[in-house]
């Protein structure tokens, strides 16, 4: 019997998959005035479209609707499902992406109703991570998350997909009947967990070596695509991949950083967070995210030019609480001030009432405020 393997990048697709993006405004998810609910809902759809683009798909159309609660069988209800099926047929859609987490039953029923592959938000994010993971550790963590996700979706209706040609979310551990054996996947999950335990021990050894040096550790955290890797490269003269796309960085990188004759620190670049980051992914990336929880200071990088940057801060703090890093001191780094109005582009350090640095306004692109950031880091590194 074939064994399950990590998702490789699909090199066979000559053209991007045609994607129909579906968003449903559920009453329980959006609160406030009608205008506020609509703005937040549209921001969520825009982010979902970016995720599709990051996965290599082309958003051909976006269909949205409102419901009090999700339909138990189809999520969207029978009438909307018929509308989606008509759109799939008319526009030759390859993949329908729901910007929500679907149950295995909903996903299976939708595929039968739409006669098309269906992927939910969790599956989409996993597909991106599968394409981006470079290190052996990253690949192990992604595969564990994928297998955990797939284990609940083994009885899928693929009768309409006899001739599979690959695609977003199809590169992975067993999409054929031979490979979707629960026992096989259970054994594979156990094996991956053991391998990641070994990775955790190796990380602990490296971390202990750093801690013995008495240097403080600063961890870059933040929403995906806020400029963390670009800042890391600016500070350390490293060459970590930094692209204007969601989840460009998956693998943690650590460097020693000289700040002044009195202060040097270790700085780490980590995976970016996103709204409703799948719990499966948080659990699978425990070894990597532990670097964040055990840091002395978090440099929370924020794209201050983003219209929803305050919500993104809240989303990051939610994930930090989940990985038990909520109590780690933070220095907010308001990045991309160069994209603000001219009278709002002032760099500088913002301080608490006791004089402690709490935020710094910078632009990684122009270099404005980087000297202020280094000064704030020196203060925090030398603080008792």
Binding site feature residues: 222-229, 247-251, 269-272, 335-338
CA–CA distance, 38 with 325 (Å, rounded to integer)? 32
Nearest to 249 by CA among 279, 276, 219, 207: 219
Specify the length of the chain in residues. 384
Annotated binding-site positions for Mg(2+): 229, 249
119, 51 Cβ separation under 8 angstroms: no
CA separation, residue 11 to residues 49, 140, 161, 169 (Å): 22, 21, 20, 14
CA-to-CA separations, 181 to 46, 140, 294, in angstroms, rounded: 37, 20, 38
Beta carbons within 10 angstroms of residue 82's beta carbon: 14
DSSP calls for 203-241: HHHHHHHHHTTT-EEEEEEEBTTSSHHHHHHHHH-----
Dihedral, 33, 36, 37, 41 alpha carbons, nearest 10: 170
């Amino acid at each position: 019997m074939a064994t399950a393997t990590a998702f490789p990048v699909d090199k066979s697709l000559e053209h991007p998959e045609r994607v129909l993006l579906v968003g449903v405004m559920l009453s329980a998810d959006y609160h406030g005035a009608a205008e506020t609910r609509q703005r937040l809902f549209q921001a969520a759809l825009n982010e979902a479209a970016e995720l599709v683009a990051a996965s290599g798909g082309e958003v051909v159309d976006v269909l949205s609707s409102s419901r009090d609660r999700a339909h138990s069988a189809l999520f969207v209800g029978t009438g909307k499902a018929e509308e989606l099926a008509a759109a799939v047929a008319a526009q030759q859609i390859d993949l329908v992406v729901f910007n929500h987490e679907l149950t295995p039953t909903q996903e299976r029923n939708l595929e039968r109703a739409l006669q098309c592959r269906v992927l939910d938000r969790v599956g989409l994010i996993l597909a991106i991570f599968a394409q981006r993971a470079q290190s052996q550790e990253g690949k192990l963590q992604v595969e564990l998350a994928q297998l955990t996700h797939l284990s609940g979706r083994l009885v899928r209706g693929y009768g309409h997909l006899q001739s599979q040609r690959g695609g977003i979310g199809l590169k992975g551990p067993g999409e054929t009947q031979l490979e979707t054996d629960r026992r096989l996947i259970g054994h594979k999950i156990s094996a991956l967990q053991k391998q990641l335990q070994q990775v955790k021990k190796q990380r602990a050894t490296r971390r202990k070596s750093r801690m013995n040096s008495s240097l403080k550790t600063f961890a870059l955290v933040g929403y995906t695509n806020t400029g963390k890797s670009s800042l890391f490269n600016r500070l350390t003269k490293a060459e970590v991949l930094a692209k204007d796309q969601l989840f460009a960085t998956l693998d943690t990188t650590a460097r020693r950083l000289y700040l002044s004759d009195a202060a040097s620190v270790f700085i780490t670049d980590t995976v970016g967070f996103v709204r409703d980051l799948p719990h499966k992914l948080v659990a699978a990336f425990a070894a990597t995210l532990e670097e964040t929880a055990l840091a002395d200071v978090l440099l929370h990088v924020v794209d201050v030019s983003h219209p929803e940057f305050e919500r993104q801060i809240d989303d990051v703090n939610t994930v930090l609480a989940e990985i038990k890093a909520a109590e780690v001191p933070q220095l907010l780094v308001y990045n991309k001030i160069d994209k603000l109005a001219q009278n709002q582009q002032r760099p500088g350090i913002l301080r608490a009432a006791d004089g402690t640095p709490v935020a710094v306004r910078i632009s990684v692109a122009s270099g404005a405020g980087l000297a202020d950031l280094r000064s704030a880091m020196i203060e925090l590194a030398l603080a008792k």
